[in-house]
Chain A
């Protein structure tokens, strides 16, 4: 019963390097999200996807790109990492918003990224 799985869990990058975070969910959820968590700021939405092949910007999308080639996977990319991107990144997924499904998010365990 894996739920939402994120890889890698920890990563240290140098400024200017690139990397990709992978999120996989096995619950057949339509929606997937990437959040970043910073002290005193709660969770802020970076990008989200409402289905395979579609992505959209959230609150803080600059410096990030995403792709959702398969329904179960949602990738977050940093093309040129900056120290301001040091954070804990959480992937989440949810059902489509219907009368039966009302917005509960299912989270992965997080990926701690440090940019030097």
Chain B
């Protein structure tokens, strides 16, 4: 079965620090990869996504992620975090399934707390 691992459950950073959140998945075939963000009290929103092409993907608010196929990883990065980045971040993997539903598997999430 497909699984997604997020190794950091809770990360605390000071403003301007660099961020890297790890994400590894288990499925060996073609996958689509996503990072979603959930700000306190809000719904999940798409941060960035990878389907094909350049493995370095840029998203909103200065976030980026790199797909490394050989490592089954899709780590999220940001050079300098802000207090407003305090949120929970979810990595997700979709196995393209023509004619079927979107089989999206989510990681358990990483809570990021940015201290002013």
Q: Is B108 interfacial (CB-CB < 8 Å)?
A: yes
For the complex, what is the distance from the CA of A29 to the CA of B41, rounded to whole Å? 25
Q: Mark each residue of chain A from 87 to 111: 1 if its CB lies under 8 Å from any CB of chain B, else 0.
A: 0001000100110001111011110
Q: Chain B: interface secondary structure?
A: loop
Interface residues on B, range: 20 to 34
| Residue in A31, A97, A104, A108 whose CB lies within 8 Å of B98 | A97
Interface residues of B (CB under 8 A from A): 9, 32, 34, 36, 42-46, 49, 51, 90, 92, 94, 96-102, 104, 106-109
For the complex, what is the distance from the CA of A109 to the CA of B45, rounded to whole Å? 10
* Minimal beta-carbon separation of A78 from chain B (angstroms): 21
* Residue among A33, A56, A104 with most chain B CB within 10 A: A104
Size of the chain A interface, CB-CB below 8 angstroms: 24
A108 engages B43 (CB within 8 Å):
yes
Q: What residues of B have a CB within 8 angstroms of the CB of A2 in the complex? A: none
Which 3 A-B residue pairs are closest in the complex by CB-CB distance?
A103-B94, A42-B108, A107-B43
Interface residues of A (CB under 8 A from B): 4, 31, 33, 40-45, 48, 50, 56, 90, 94, 97-98, 102-105, 107-110
- In the assembled complex, 26 residue pairs joining A and B whose CB atoms fall closer than 8 Å, in A order, are A4-B43, A31-B102, A33-B102, A42-B90, A42-B108, A43-B44, A43-B90, A43-B106, A45-B104, A48-B101, A50-B101, A90-B43, A97-B97, A97-B98, A97-B102, A102-B32, A103-B94, A103-B96, A103-B102, A104-B34, A104-B46, A105-B46, A105-B102, A105-B104, A107-B43, A108-B43
For the complex, what is the distance from the CA of A62 to the CA of B36, rounded to whole Å? 27
B102 engages A94 (CB within 8 Å):
yes
A109 engages B42 (CB within 8 Å):
yes
Q: What residues of B have a CB within 8 angstroms of the CB of A110 in the complex? A: 43
| Residue in B43, B90, B92, B107 whose CB lies within 8 Å of A109 | B43
